[in-house]
A and B are shown apart, each in its own frame.
Chain A
Amino acid sequence: MQRRSFIALAAALATLAGATAPAHADALETIMETGTIRIAVPQDFPPFGSVGTDLQPVGYDIDMAMLIGERLGVDVEIVPVTSANRIPYLQTDMVDLVISSLGKNAEREAVIDFTDAYAPFFNGVFGPDSIDVGSVEDLDGQIVGVTRGSVEDLTLTDMIGDGVTMRRYEDNNGTISAFLSGQVELIATGNVVAAAILERDPDIRPEIKFLVQDSPCYIGLNQGEDALKAAINEIIAEAKTDGSLEAISMEWLGQELPEDL
């Protein structure tokens, strides 16, 4: 397998180059030696991770974890975590990677390292094909449903002009119901919510019109694990070009990957 030998080579090079690496053993080396990679995944955040009918976690993040294991040629040990303890799991070396719909911010960057983005996570305006809206300017005269007080509500309200009517619902279910019953033709929401609507295979399909706010998901790993990071980035880049990430996105989000992910 060329790919594996490449990764082994990359790992070897990285190990050589990483003379300044921390005192503990290089994570990638350990993974290759033990033949197991431990990956933290969510189990309470569909479609990224939820408990399937056989009580095993399923979702975008789990598929991503399996893809990484497969490409590294090692077994994957799935470790279910919550959004509150996913970073402590990494810091205490309970897992090698966190694939748990993790967004990047300065606070987190101070304590852990991130690979390249592997999943789209954004708020945007969604609506059926029949409505021609491509930017916030086009919204003039339209009615947009949104969940009151959500990030997309606050962000979009600042962006729009007076000609736009916002209908604010109590929670995501209200917004979804209003959209599905045709009470509003456009909704501002997260791509995950749109995916949840698409999963029901409705007559009116929410297609993305434009982005309101983009904060894609990254894989988290410990700082100083440059070899592992390089190897994972290589896998992500490859998965983006060979269509395997696209397939995961289609399966769990019902949408193609954004161009700029």
Chain B
Amino acid sequence: MGYQLNFGWIPQYMPVLLHGIGITIYLIAVGAVAGCILGIVCAWTRALGPVWARPPVAAYVELIRNTPFMVQLFFIFFGLPSLGVQMNELQAATLAMIVNLGAYSCEIIRAGIQATPKGQFEAGASLAMSRIQTFRHVVLIPALQRIWPALSSQIVIVMLGSAVVSQVAAEDLTYAANFIQSRNFRAFETYIVATVVYLGLSILLRFALDALGWVLFPRRKAAR
């Protein structure tokens, strides 16, 4: 006697599911953009920035990369209120994702920056570009291009890791799946749906990041 799959509950819980998907997309969109900006600033500091600023950034990166995401999230959501910093679950989840991706992308982007040949800096300087201009036009874009696949993967990993924000009752896709599962007792089907949606989101996200790469790096062939 096989297990009888039953997906009859989907229409009833569609709003919950869509809301969850919306929150997950929101989290990854805000998290990825802000996280990468934070990562670029941190990477610049660690690779080229003022010497005094390097140790605190290094400490931040090591702290985040060597502790579990869930603990960071709990620290922000359950811990910070003791210090008077009160955030709702969505703000806490967003902040946790930005901080987390910021640290990982910092290291990835720094690798790209440090792989830049010295001649490229000198070329920028010989064109009378300021240090910031050189970084912006001559160093950063080729560096990002070099590490774009690694950065894309990290963003996808962070999106999948966002599932744990359901632990602080942020109403993402996993929260929706857990909620539905606690009502219809159809754990198997519910998590099949969640899995398929996550898979779809990952594929879409990779596709979007690849497309963004094409837009950001038009000189793809020249750089190779």
Contacts and interface: CB of A to CB of B under 8 A. Distances in A.
A181 interface: yes
Nearest to B167: A170
Interface stretch (B21-29, B78-86, B130-138, B205-213): B78-86
A145 B89 CA distance: 12
A154 B179 CA distance: 11
A148 interface: yes
A52 interface: no
B77 A183 contact: yes
Contacts of A104: none
A39 B9 CA distance: 47
B24 to A, nearest CB: 17
Contacts of A168: 169, 175, 178-179, 182
A170 B183 CA distance: 14
Contacts of A61: none
Given A167-B89, A168-B169, A170-B167, A183 B182 contact: no
Contacts of A153: 182
Contacts of B181: 149
A181 B78 contact: yes
Contacts of B78: 177-178, 181, 183
Nearest to A153: B182
Contact of A148 (B74, B88, B168, B179): B179
A148 B182 contact: yes
Which range holds the interface residue count of chain B? 10 to 19
A178 B89 CA distance: 10
Contacts of A128: none
Of A149, A169, A183, chain B has the most CB atoms within 10 Å of the CB of A183
Nearest to A143: B88
Contact of A178 (B166, B169, B175, B178): B169
A182 interface: yes
A182 B77 CA distance: 10
Contacts of A170: 166-167, 178
A141 to B, nearest CB: 15
Contacts of B167: 169-170, 174
Contacts of B89: 167, 183
Contacts of B175: 168
A153 B167 CA distance: 16
Contacts of A177: 74, 78
Interface in A128-160: 145, 148-149, 153-154
A200 to B, nearest CB: 14
B179 A183 contact: no
A181 B81 contact: yes
18 contacts: A148-B182, A149-B181, A149-B182, A167-B89, A168-B175, A168-B182, A169-B167, A169-B168, A169-B169, A170-B166, A170-B167, A178-B78, A178-B169, A181-B77, A181-B78, A183-B78, A183-B88, A183-B89
Interface of B: 74, 77-79, 81-82, 86, 88-89, 166-169, 175, 178-179, 181-183
Given A168-B175, A168-B178, A169-B167, 16 more contacts: A148-B179, A148-B182, A149-B181, A149-B182, A168-B169, A168-B182, A170-B166, A174-B167, A177-B78, A178-B169, A181-B77, A181-B79, A181-B81, A182-B81, A182-B86, A183-B168
Interface of A: 145, 148-149, 153-154, 167-170, 174, 177-178, 181-183
